[in-house]
Amino acid sequence: MHKWLTGALTVEQVHVAIADLPPQHHGLRLVQLSDFHFDGLGLSPALLADAIAQANALQPDFVILTGDFVTDTPTPIHTLAPQLATLRSRYGTYAVLGNHDLRYRHSRQEVTTALRAHDITVLWNEAVYPLGPGLAIVGLADLWSTEFWPDTVLPAIPPHIPRLLLSHNPDSADRLRQWRVDLQLSGHTHGGQVNLPGLGNIAPHLATLYDRLPRSLQRSARFLRNCSKNMQHWEWSQGLHQVGSNQLYVNRGLGTYLPGRFRCPPELTLITLVSPS
């Protein structure tokens, strides 16, 4: 999609207050990128190069990648991973997989192996402490996989330790309300992809239309069905949200999927962690 239709790459900057954040981590800077859909159609080489260059210029402490590296076959990951390896940060790049990265039986292994071969840490239901015991980074399996198991990870983290959680699908925030999640980083929605003047994100409107169709017509309304099933909480389609006592940030992603983007700019996010005032 041309930037005249989508809008140019946007750098969104947000400050997020984290309770119990160790003083030495005040001002920690995260760059988040998501939803590449690198398949020769969904993401242009120029946009990818621009996003990487702008990410590096921000000199982040961490780079966070929240899934959907590919769209269908995992083969393009072997071209994408070396380019993602040029992302620079003080403490490394951390990633989780999205639903498109799991499309075939071999997809998960192929995408994970390619990313890890280029020093990108891929998390699957695990917590790591790259800065020591004062801050956990948790990465979960995709919500639509058969292995979304937060209960195997979160209870093991001491309750006083703040944690950042990577989960591709923001709907998972509903399932995570029972645990402490200081900041969840997600993608998946592409910001709704199509925003019309006076109407905004059309995805929830299409989902509502599908739900109101007679069951006999729903079977043939594949596009509307996809809008309805892709997301339950379209109110979380982009930006920062409060979900119970937890915080959620949803990145609009870089790439696109059918029917393409319109007035929905691709996004690079700079998140600065701060202590509560």
User: What are the strands, taking DSSP E only, across the chain?
Assistant: 10-17, 28-33, 62-65, 93-95, 120-122, 126-128, 136-139, 163-166, 183-186, 195-196, 200-201, 239-243, 246-250, 267-274
Tens of pLDDT along the chain (277 residues) come to 556 566 789 999 999 999 999 999 999 999 999 999 999 888 999 999 999 999 999 999 999 999 999 999 999 999 999 999 999 999 999 999 999 999 999 999 999 999 999 999 999 999 999 999 999 999 999 999 999 999 999 999 999 999 999 999 999 999 999 999 999 999 999 987 776 676 666 666 566 655 666 776 666 555 545 655 677 888 899 999 999 999 999 999 999 876 667 778 999 999 999 999 8
> What is the Cα–Cα distance from 163 to 94, expressed in whole angstroms?
14
Q: Can you give the pLDDT at residue 215? A: 73
What is the tally of helices (H) and strands (E) in the chain?
Answer: 8, 14
> What is the Cα–Cα distance from 13 to 270, expressed in whole angstroms?
5
- The residue assigned the tokens 């946007």 is 10
Q: Can you give the pLDDT at residue 54? A: 98
Q: Please, what are the domains in the chain?
A: 3-199+240-274 (3.60.21.10)
The residues that bridge with 201 in the sheet, in sequence order, are 195
- Nearest residue to 103 (alpha-carbon basis) of 124, 81, 79, 73: 73
Q: Can you give the pLDDT at residue 111? A: 98
- The residue assigned the tokens 């590296």 is 69
Q: Can you give the pLDDT at residue 214? A: 74
- Nearest residue to 96 (alpha-carbon basis) of 138, 55, 49, 128: 138
> What is the Cα–Cα distance from 225 to 120, expressed in whole angstroms?
35
b/e code 171-196 from CB counts within 10 Å (16+ = b) = bbbeebeebbbbbbbbbbbbbbbbbe
**Residue 86, Cβ neighbours under 10 Å: how many?**
12
**Residue 85, Cβ neighbours under 10 Å: how many?**
15
Torsions phi, psi of 128, nearest 5?
-130, 160
Return the percent helix, strand and coil in the chain, to nearest 5: 30, 25, 45
- Nearest residue to 9 (alpha-carbon basis) of 152, 151, 191: 191
